[in-house]
Amino acid sequence: MTRYFLTSIRLWVTALIVVVSILHTPVCAEKLEEAFQNESPISLLTLQDVLDRLEKQHPLLKRSQANITVARGRLLKALGKFEPNLVNDWELERLVKNGETKSVGFNDTFVEMRHPWGFKGFAGFRAGIGDVEIADLGVNTSNQPLLGIVFPLLRGFITNPESGELKKSKLAGARAKLEIQQVRQELYLGAATQYWNWVAAWRIRDVHHRSVEVAELRFQQIKSQVDDGARAQFDVIDASQEIQWRRDKLIKAERKVDKEQFKLALFLWEGDELMVPKERKVPAFPSDLQDAWLHDLEKNKLRAAQSRPEVKLINLEAQVNHVDLDVAENNLLPDLTLEAQPTRKPGEFVLGLGYRFGVQLSFPLLQREARGDLMKLKGKIERLKLLKRYQLQQVGMDVANAHSSMIRAQQSIQVTRKALELAKQLVEGERTRFKLGITNLIVVNQREHKVLEANESWVTAMTGYQKAVALYQWAIGKWAGGLHTKETGKKMTKADRK
């Protein structure tokens, strides 16, 4: 009974600790755990994991996403030019009227409004102060409704600097999104390239580690044979020297691993800290090569020209320039303004002046400023046309270059794989000859060096192909829209995770 009671107390205490821990868990930590719940310090690190963490945590991508907030602020500022404005104006004048010094004036309360098409208007009410006379629309002898409009007939009608700024500010959001896509493209390419460099460094390190184990095992065998008098002491020295040579190669390979994992850490952020993948498991190279990328080269060139953010940014810049060009052409027109509004000058009002109507015409005689703006913008149009022509050619060459890189990498994989198989056959034959006493240890070591070189060449070729695939994805703009989980992760099979 006592044991049952103690067990119940332990269960209740454990449950209480769990509840308190959950209640005190920070919200940000919960979000990070949810985002990377499948990761652990010793789990397999895939390219999907790297790109997913980059998308959610990398500060450069977050910084570019902050441009959307800047664009929204610019749009809000541009809209402020057309914001209704409430005005309360109190004016008082001292004057001599009918031989007496009097204080007369008015108190105006009205709302000013401005439309993007250029016309302005206001509406409100005026209360006269003192002995005033109302010329038009009088209410109770000293009050007056206020209605006014200023209407541009040529310059500034529909197209004007303020409406142009509003149009450009609406395009700022699209520019911010394209800049995000461009940053994402570059970061994804850099991350994928560095990821495969890290995988290659680990694979080469494993090759040298196995070669050291083989040399140490052979050393023990030869030493035992020397102790039995079956071999000369010279073979022990030769085997020991070979171990030191291979250990040196292993140290350099491990230094390469350290270097590549520190570079990879720049793409692996966890909050404000970098995550160095020291203990993460390294996948094998994908067993199937993605031949689908090698087809439809011309189709992918067209796709790249339509989806690459560099080309879209030039098109967007052309739209902005077109807005400025419309404003510049409108500025060449004369300034012809129609107005109908009550007088707003205190002196005129107290003298009895009421509503006024007028048409005003003005224009610079030489139009140098407007013609200068127009010339500058037309020159910018030509510059953008040339830049777009160059950018389209560059995009096409990027796709062709990545396509060629994949083809050559495939050829290199076939050649290096065959060379590795032949080197392994030769080293096995040489080891058999060594056991039979037909050859010596120097020749065996040379054969094994060739296997090491062939292994490194094969790893380099496999890495080159994966980096070529990443370059091709970048070249066609596949990463511009973000991470595609299915396409990025479907190539990793169970055999690849061993």
Angle made by CA atoms 344, 348, 349, in degrees to the nearest 5 = 65
β-bridge mates for residue 356, sequence order: 341
CA-based end-to-end distance of the chain: 51
- Using DSSP's 3-state secondary structure scheme, residue 100 falls into strand
Domain ranges of the chain: 40-73+164-319+383-497, 84-114+119-155+335-366
Contact 168, 135 (CB under 8 A): no
pLDDT by residue for the chain (498 residues), tens digit each? 444 334 444 434 343 433 333 334 333 333 433 444 445 556 889 999 999 999 888 888 888 778 888 888 888 888 888 888 898 888 777 766 677 777 777 788 889 888 888 888 888 888 877 766 666 666 666 677 788 888 888 888 888 888 888 888 888 888 989 999 999 999 999 999 999 999 999 999 999 999 999 999 999 988 888 888 777 888 889 899 999 999 999 999 999 999 999 999 999 988 888 889 888 889 988 877 766 667 788 888 999 999 999 999 999 999 999 999 998 888 888 888 888 877 766 655 555 556 677 888 888 888 888 888 889 989 989 999 999 999 999 999 999 999 999 999 999 999 999 999 999 999 999 889 888 888 888 899 899 999 999 999 999 999 999 999 999 999 999 998 887 544 444 444 443 433
Q: What class, spelled out in words, does domain 40-73+164-319+383-497 have in CATH?
A: mainly alpha
Burial (CB < 10 A; 0-12, 13-18, 19+), residue 205, is buried
Model pTM score? 0.78
- Using DSSP's 3-state secondary structure scheme, residue 90 falls into strand
DSSP annotation of 228: T
In tens, the pLDDT along 254-292 reads 999 999 999 999 999 888 888 898 888 899 888 777 666
How many whole angstroms separate alpha carbon 270 and alpha carbon 188?
17
